[in-house]
Amino acid sequence: MSQEFRFIVRIAGRDLQGSKKVSSALADIKGVGYNLGNCVLGTLRIDPKLRLGTLSDSQITEIEKSVKNLSQLNLPPYLLNRQKDVETGTNMHLIGSDLDFAIKNDKEREKNVQSWRGIRHSLGLKVRGQRTRTTGRKGRTIGVKKMAMVRPGGPAQTPAATPAAAAAAPAEKK
């Protein structure tokens, strides 16, 4: 190859390591996983075992165009991350900051509609039916606060004033 090795390759607004294999380097782009990367490389007829830094400029621009516009590759819709979009009704695939923005808008829409999921999102609780009895306590107080013992029919006492503690203490003379 007449092209020299590049250690950093920019694809879809993201700096990728040129020393990685092409399929795993594409998985570093937000919204593109390992399997989707392999499908893209298969349709473009690029060997996924090659190092990203060894690809030519034309191959890299071809990969970038196809990752940004996956609808042109005629991939099955289950590989896309926005199937039957709420606003447009089409199947599309978002990557990077567009994906973050769409997820944020989805959460805000559900909060405004006051759906169950929206209420759970607004309260900071688990949304997808996970167990909450013992997990999901991040950022909250864990454990039981110690309080003074309460004797039935009497005022609250400290632990030293209990009858067992009084029997163990030496008797005072009157």
pLDDT score at 102: 92
Are residue 12 and residue 74 in the same domain, yes or no? yes
Are residue 15 and residue 75 in the same domain, yes or no? yes
Does residue 161 sit within a domain?
A: no
Are residue 108 and residue 69 in the same domain, yes or no? no
Mean pLDDT computed over 150-170: 64
Give CA–CA dist 74/93, Å, rounded. Answer: 12
Contact present, 121 and 111 (Cβ < 8 Å): yes
Query: What are the distances in angstroms from CA 73 to CA 10, 30, 53, 134, 142?
Result: 21, 19, 24, 45, 51
Three-state DSSP state, 33? coil
Are residue 29 and residue 56 in the same domain, yes or no? yes
Does residue 89 sit within a domain?
A: no
Strand partners of residue 51:
21
Position 50: which residue type?
A: L
Are residue 73 and residue 103 in the same domain, yes or no? no
pLDDT score at 167: 64
pLDDT score at 153: 75
For the cut 90, the answer to whether the pLDDT of residue 157 exceeds it is no
Range of the domain at 28: 8-79
Are residue 100 and residue 41 in the same domain, yes or no? no
Reported as half-sphere exposure (CB side, CA atoms, 13 A), residue 12 has a value of 24
Does residue 174 sit within a domain?
A: no
Are residue 57 and residue 102 in the same domain, yes or no? no
Are residue 12 and residue 54 in the same domain, yes or no? yes
Are residue 12 and residue 67 in the same domain, yes or no? yes
pLDDT score at 73: 85
pLDDT score at 117: 92
Strand partners of residue 9:
16
pLDDT score at 110: 93
Does residue 112 sit within a domain?
A: yes
pLDDT score at 71: 79
Mean pLDDT computed over 151-160: 66
For the cut 90, the answer to whether the pLDDT of residue 166 exceeds it is no
150 Cβ neighbours under 8 A, 6+ residues apart:
156, 157
The pLDDT tens digits of the residues spanning 94-150 come to 998 999 999 999 999 999 999 999 999 998 889 998 998 888 777 666 666 677 777
Q: How many residues does the chain have?
A: 174
pLDDT score at 135: 84
The pLDDT tens digits of the residues spanning 33-90 come to 999 999 999 999 999 999 999 999 999 999 999 998 887 888 888 998 888 888 888 8
